[in-house]
Amino acid sequence: GLDWGCGAGFDLGLNCGYGAGLDRPLPPRDNRPTNRRPPAAAAQAQSCPPVLKAPSPCLTAAAYPAPGRPRSAPSLVLPRARASLCPRSALAPPASPRGAACRPSLWPPVGPRASGRRQEPAGSFRAARRRRWVVRARVPAMYYKFNGFTQRLVGAAASAAYNPQGLKPIVSTESPALVFGTTTKLASDLPATDSFLGKNQVPDLQKLFQKADGLPVHLKRGVPDKLLYRTTMALTIGGTIYCLVALYMASQPRSQK
Amino acid sequence: MAHQAHSYHMVDPSPWPIFGAAAALLTTSGLIMWFHYNSTALLMAGLLSMLLVMLQWWRDVVRESTFQGHHTPTVQKGLRYGMILFITSEAFFFLGFFWAFFHSSLAPTPELGGQWPPTGIKPLNPLEVPLLNTAILLASGVTVTWAHHSITEGNRKQAIHALTLTILLGFYFTALQAMEYHEASFSIADSVYGSTFFVATGFHGLHVIIGSSFLTVCLLRLIKFHFTSNHHFGFEAAAWYWHFVDIIWLFLYMSMYWWGS
C-alpha cells in the first residue's frame, strides 16, 4: 500500500485517519446523520481558532468517502487537515440531505451501508488501515502475451507468457579484457559486436535532423537535398510540358503519306 | 514553442506526391509514344522521375521516423494497417490473372484443340527448375524469419547474415526465372497459354524484384543501426511482402506449372 505520510505521525492533509491525535474519535465513514452532534458553535469557536473551522459542509462531505468503496483516492481537502490540527473539534459529517446535495458526483450514491461490512469502532487500527488511501487494481489471474501482428496483448498459456518474444537474453556486448595491456587506446568505445560493418551514426543524424532550422524534412540536409529536389522538379515539370506537346501533336490528324 | 498534444504525425509539406503523379503521367504517355511512335524519350523521363520520387519520398520517411522520432505506436499502427491493405490489393491484382488462367484452361476452346495445354504447346517440366525455384523461395521465407528473430534478440551480426542470405536467394530465383524465360519453347504470343503464363509469372517476377529491393534497403538500414530490437517496422513490412510473394509463387506453381502442364 502507498503511504502518503500518514504513518509518519504528521498529517499531510490527506484523509488517512492518522493525525495529530489518534485518540480522537473519527467520524463514521458514511454520510448518514449521526447521533454525535457537533459541539456548539460557540464552543467550537472557543476551542478552535476561526481559521480551523470547517468552511463548508460540502467540502467536508468530499472528505468522507461513501461506503462501499473500501479504498478511495486520496483527497487533499484542507478542512480535514485543519480539523485534525484542532484536537477538540469533533467534526461530524453533515446531515444526510445536505450531504447528499453536496456530495461530489464521483462518489456512488450513499445508501444504508452498501458495503454490508460490519461497522468497526471508528478509531480502530483496522478501520484506519482501511481508510488509507490506497488504490489497488484487481485483475483476474490470467496470462498474456504480446501479439506482434496486431500489436496487442492477447490471452495466452502460462508457458507462452513466460517466454515472451524479444526478451531472450541479449548476446553480451562487452569487449574482452585486453590481454597485453598497453598505453594504446581501444579502437573504439563500441561493444565488440557493433564494430562489425561500421559505426553507429544514428545519434549524430538525429541531432542533425532535429535542428530547429525551419527546413522541411526533404531539404533538411542542405545542398545535396536541394540538388536532388531541383533535378526531380526539372525532370517532372519539363517532362510534363513535353508530354502535353507530344500528346497535342499526336492528336493532330495525319496527312496521307 | 508549441508542442503537439496528440500522438499522430503531421508531416511537413512535401513535393513528392505531386511529382509522383507527374511521373505516372510521363510513364503512361511514354508507353504510348513507345508503342505507337517508336520514341522512348518520354518513357525514360517517366521511369527516371518515378525512381527519383520513390527514393526521396522513402528517404524522407526514414528521416521522419529514425532521425526525428515521429513514428509513435499510433503512427506505427496506421502503417501496419496501410501495409496490410496494400498487400491485400496486390492479392486482388493477382486474383485477376488467376481468374483469366482458369477461365481459359478449365474450358479450352476448339481453337486450342479442345485441350490444355493447347495443341503444340510444350510446357515447362514442373519437376525441374520450377521445383528448385519453389525450394528457393521457401528457404528464403525461413531465412527472413531467422533475420527477424535475430533483430528482436539484438543479435546484429546474425541478422545481417540472415537478411543477406534472403536477398541472395531472391536474386537466385530471379536469375533462374530469367533463364527459364529465355529457354522456354513458347512465347507470350503463343495463344492464350502464353499470354496467361507470361503475364502472371512476369508480374510475379516483378514483385520478386520489388521485394528484393525492399529487403536490400532494409539490409542497408540494418547495417546502419536504424532498427532497434522492438521497433523495426520497415523490416516487418518487407518480410510481410516477401511472404506474400512466396505464397503467390506457390499458387502459380500449383495451378500453372503443375496442374496446367
Residue of A nearest to B74 (CA): A151
Q: Which residue of B33, B67, B221, B229 to mutate against A (max A Cβ within 10 Å)?
A: B67
* Cα–Cα distance list, A47 to A5, A59, A92, B37, B243 (Å): 27, 21, 16, 107, 81
Which three cell numbers mark B155?
A: 543479435
Shortest CA gap B146–chain A (Å)? 13
Q: Tell me if chain B has a CB within 8 Å of the CB of A227.
A: no
Beta-carbon separation of A205 and B23 below 8 A: no
ipTM of this predicted structure = 0.88
Q: Are residues B52 and B166 in the same domain?
A: no
Is the pLDDT at B236 greater than 50? The verdict is yes
Q: What is the C-alpha to C-alpha distance for residues B260 and B102, in angstroms, rounded to an integer?
A: 9
Left if phi > 0, otherwise alpha if psi is -120 to 50, otherwise beta: which for B92?
Answer: alpha
Shortest CA gap A208–chain B (Å)? 8
Q: Which residue has the cell 500489436?
A: A151
Q: What is the C-alpha to C-alpha distance for residues A184 and A207, in angstroms, rounded to an integer?
A: 31
Q: Which residues of A touch B22 (CB under 8 A)?
A: 236-237, 239-240
Q: Which residues of A touch B56 (CB under 8 A)?
A: 218, 228-229, 232
Q: What is the C-alpha to C-alpha distance for residues A226 and A223, in angstroms, rounded to an integer?
A: 5
Q: Which residue in B25, B36, B224 is closest to A201 by CB distance?
A: B224
Q: What is the C-alpha to C-alpha distance for residues A134 and A2, in angstroms, rounded to an integer?
A: 6
Q: What is the C-alpha to C-alpha distance for residues B219 and B242, in angstroms, rounded to an integer?
A: 14
pLDDT tens sequence across A71-96: 444 444 444 444 444 444 444 444 44
The one-letter code for the residue type at B126 is P
Q: Which residues of B touch A242 (CB under 8 A)?
A: 41-42, 45
Q: Are residues B143 and B122 in the same domain?
A: yes
Which three cell numbers mark A194?
A: 557493433
Per the DSSP assignment, residues forming a β-bridge with A153 are: A146
Shortest CA gap B224–chain A (Å)? 6
Q: Are residues B137 and B234 in the same domain?
A: yes
Q: What is the C-alpha to C-alpha distance for residues B17 and A236, in angstroms, rounded to an integer?
A: 12
Q: How many residues comprise chain A?
A: 257
**DSSP strands (E only) in A8-51:** none
Residue of B nearest to A149 (CA): B80
Q: What CATH number does residue B104 fall under?
A: 1.20.120.80
Q: Are residues B195 and B244 in the same domain?
A: yes
Beta-carbon separation of A240 and B155 below 8 A: no
Residues in chain A, pLDDT under 50? 1-22, 39-46, 51, 54, 59-63, 65, 68-109, 111, 114, 116, 166, 186-190, 192-193
pLDDT tens sequence across B137-176: 999 999 999 999 999 999 999 999 999 999 999 999 999 9
Q: Which residues of B touch A216 (CB under 8 A)?
A: 12-14
Q: Are residues B95 and B112 in the same domain?
A: yes
Instruction: Please identify, among B70, B92, B122, the residue that sits at the C-terminal boundary of a domain.
Output: B70
Left if phi > 0, otherwise alpha if psi is -120 to 50, otherwise beta: which for A10?
Answer: beta
Q: What is the C-alpha to C-alpha distance for residues B214 and A255, in angstroms, rounded to an integer?
A: 49
Which three cell numbers mark A166?
A: 524479444
Q: Are residues B146 and B162 in the same domain?
A: yes
- Decide if A239 contacts B26 (C-beta within 8 A): yes
Q: Are residues B45 and B140 in the same domain?
A: no
Restricting to A residues 148-187, those with a Cβ less than 8 Å away from any Cβ of B are 148, 151, 165-166, 168, 170-171
Instruction: Please identify, among B44, B70, B96, the residue that sits at the C-terminal boundary of a domain.
Output: B70
Percent of chain B with pLDDT over 70: 100
Shortest CA gap B243–chain A (Å)? 14
Q: What is the C-alpha to C-alpha distance for residues A157 and B16, in angstroms, rounded to an integer?
A: 47
Q: What is the C-alpha to C-alpha distance for residues A179 and A175, in angstroms, rounded to an integer?
A: 12
Beta-carbon separation of B68 and A170 below 8 A: no
Crossing angle of helices B73-106 and B191-223, in 10° steps, is 160
pLDDT tens sequence across B201-220: 999 999 999 999 999 999 99
Q: Are residues B178 and B242 in the same domain?
A: yes
Residue of B nearest to A194 (CA): B156
| Domain, as residue range, for B106 | 72-257
Is the pLDDT at B233 greater than 70? The verdict is yes
Interior/surface letters B171-196, b for 16+ CB within 10 angstroms, e for the rest = ebbbeebeebeeebebeeebbbbbbb
Q: Which residue in B12, B30, B226 is closest to A202 by CB distance?
A: B226
Beta-carbon separation of A216 and B13 below 8 A: yes
Q: What is the pLDDT of residue A146?
A: 75
Instruction: Name the domain count of chain B.
Output: 2
- Decide if A236 contacts B49 (C-beta within 8 A): yes
**Average pLDDT rounded to a whole number, residues B128-145:** 97
Burial of B156 (0-12, 13-18, 19+ CB in 10 A): buried
Is the pLDDT at B31 greater than 50? The verdict is yes
Beta-carbon separation of A218 and B56 below 8 A: yes
Q: Which residues of B touch A194 (CB under 8 A)?
A: 156, 225
- How open is the CA angle A38-A44-A47, to the nearest 5 degrees? 135
Q: Which residue has the cell 468522507?
A: A64
Residue of A nearest to B37 (CA): A250
Q: Which residue has the cell 467520524?
A: A27
> What's the number of CA atoms in the CB half-sphere (13 Å) around residue B186?
20
Q: What is the C-alpha to C-alpha distance for residues B45 and B60, in angstroms, rounded to an integer?
A: 22
Which three cell numbers mark B142?
A: 525461413
SS3 of residue A156 by DSSP: coil
Q: Which residue in A168, A206, A233 is closest to B67 by CB distance?
A: A206
Which three cell numbers mark A79?
A: 478542512
**Average pLDDT rounded to a whole number, residues B61-74:** 96
Q: Are residues B64 and B81 in the same domain?
A: no
Q: Which residue in B73, B157, B236 is closest to A193 by CB distance?
A: B157
Q: What is the pLDDT of residue B70?
A: 95
Residue of A nearest to B226 (CA): A202
Q: Which residue has the cell 528448385?
A: B132
Q: Are residues B40 and B158 in the same domain?
A: no
Q: Which residues of A touch B23 (CB under 8 A)?
A: 236, 239
Q: What is the C-alpha to C-alpha distance for residues B142 and B146, in angstroms, rounded to an integer?
A: 6
Q: Are residues B11 and B116 in the same domain?
A: no
Q: What does pTM read for this prediction?
A: 0.65
Instruction: Please identify, among B37, B70, B103, the residue that sits at the C-terminal boundary of a domain.
Output: B70
Q: Which residues of B touch A197 (CB under 8 A)?
A: 160, 223
Q: Are residues B57 and B88 in the same domain?
A: no
Q: What CATH number does residue B53 fall under?
A: 1.10.287.70
* Residue A156: how many other CB atoms lie within 10 Å: 17
